[in-house]
Amino acid sequence: MAKIWILLGERLALGLVTLVVVSALIFVGVELLPGDLAQQILGQSATPETVAAFRRELGLDQPALYRYMNWLGGVVHGEFGNSLANGRPISDLLGVRLKNTLFLAGFAAVISVPTALILGILAALYRNSIFDRLCNVIALTWVSLPEFFVAYVLVLFLAVRISLFPAISSIDAEMSLAEMLYRSFLPALTLMLVVIAHMMRMTRAAIINVLASPYVEMARLKGLSRMRVVLFHALPNALAPIINVVALNLAYLVVGVVVVEVVFVYPGLGQLLVDAVSNRDVMVVQSVGLIFAAAYILLNLLADILSIVTNPRLMNQR
């Protein structure tokens, strides 16, 4: 147990250092954007004196290192600053949008994770069968298609031709859960089709690898059915790579929603990020980028820790 806590502390420390480095890269990337922010906000007709005064008001006349430390210090205390587009506190904008993004990612995960595990187990159970080959062909087909193409295909067939679901997934807090699930189904289905292939193929490969182990052969010699051998002997010992790929895909569901949210005009962090880039609202861009980075790093650390916990041999590497 002590080793697990030590491992957890090391991973959290590494994740914190990584997040600080990523925050610096985000700030530098925004700083390197061409053009003068104050000039763009005020317009070309603004006088140099007005632009200079506005730069002082925004703090843009301060050195970059000072502004970065000031921004990072505010983030540590939960203060992301104010939006340059409308003056509203960024924390207010992030609260609702983050909730919507997590709802969409959770909806997609609830659909995709069980489906991928079931298909992966069945594909391993009936290896080299028509079902196995068909699953692999379909999975490789979907994973090779870009997200926006999958999204537009679903819109064409399920929203335009059949009119089964709305093409624009606008939701708000006043809607019932059923209404939110209905309006979010198409973007959730798009994300599911994008990530399910990775999880299914990893589940299949992990189980097939374990099925070649001596103890599995012994279980077969005892007369156990193939389904029982897979579920009770192979699957528990194949959890480490499966958990790892599931956690990584959950990270993708959170940070990879930008394109999907833009296609379906879904009011999440991805849509907020695109709007902020269009409006040159650099404070919002920095904040959203940092949240995406934090979510991805946290879920990667979770995948790493769960993989080691479910496979104690990795804790005693020599």
Question: pLDDT tens for residues 73-108?
Answer: 888 888 888 887 777 888 888 888 989 999 999 999
Q: Which tens digits make up the pLDDT trace of 8-36?
A: 788 888 888 998 999 999 888 887 777 66
Q: Is residue 303 part of a domain?
A: yes
pLDDT at position 36 is 65
Interval 208-212 mean pLDDT: 82
How far apart CA 296 and CA 250 sit, in angstroms, is 9
Would residue 89 count as lying in a domain? no
35 and 132 both lie in a single domain: no
pLDDT at 316: 58
| Same domain flag for 63 and 185 | no
CATH of the domain at 235: 1.10.3720.10
CA distances in angstroms from 50 to 45, 80, 87, 94, 292, listed in the order given: 10, 26, 18, 30, 35
Whether residues 105 and 56 fall in one domain: no
Confidence of residue 42 (pLDDT cuts 50, 70, 90): confident
Handedness of CA 230, 232, 235, 238 (dihedral sign): negative
Helix, strand, coil percentages (3-state) for the chain, rounded to 5, are 80, 0, 20
In this structure, the answer to whether residues 173 and 41 fall within a common structural domain is no
Q: What's the domain count of the chain?
A: 2
Instruction: Identify whether 166 is part of a domain.
Output: yes
Mean pLDDT of 57-65: 78
In DSSP terms, 82 is beta-bridged to 89
In a domain, 138, yes or no: yes
Residue 127 in any domain: the answer is yes
Pair (67, 193) in one structural domain: no
| Mean pLDDT on 265-286 | 86
Rounded distance between C-alpha atoms, residue 195 and residue 188, angstroms: 11
| Any domain includes 11 | no
Is 197 within 8 Å of 143 (Cβ atoms)?
yes
Assess whether 117 and 258 both reside in one domain. Answer: yes
Q: Does 164 fall in a domain? A: yes
Long-range contacts of 67-74 (CB under 8 A, 24+ apart): 67/27, 68/24, 68/27, 71/27, 71/283, 71/286, 72/20, 72/23
CB-based burial label for 6 (10 Å; 0-12, 13-18, 19+)? exposed
Shared domain check, 116 and 57: no
Number of H helices, E strands in the chain: 16, 0
Its sign, for the CA torsion 292, 293, 297, 298, is negative
- Give me 60's structure tokens: 């843009």
- The answer to the question of residue 280 being in a domain is yes
What mean pLDDT is predicted for residues 162-167? Answer: 89
Give the range of the structural domain holding residue 201, as residue numbers without chain letter.
Answer: 101-316
| Residue position matching structure tokens 């897979």 | 230
Query: Is there a single domain that holds both residue 49 and residue 134?
Result: no
Residues 68, 108: one domain? no
User: Based on the domain organization, do 116 and 66 belong to the same domain?
Assistant: no
Q: Which residues pair with 89 in a beta bridge?
A: 82
Instruction: Give the pair of three-digit tokens for residue 19.
Output: 């997040």
Q: What is the pLDDT of residue 1?
A: 61
Whether residues 41 and 114 share a domain: the answer is no
Give the pLDDT score at 180.
Answer: 92
Do 120 and 181 belong together in one domain? yes
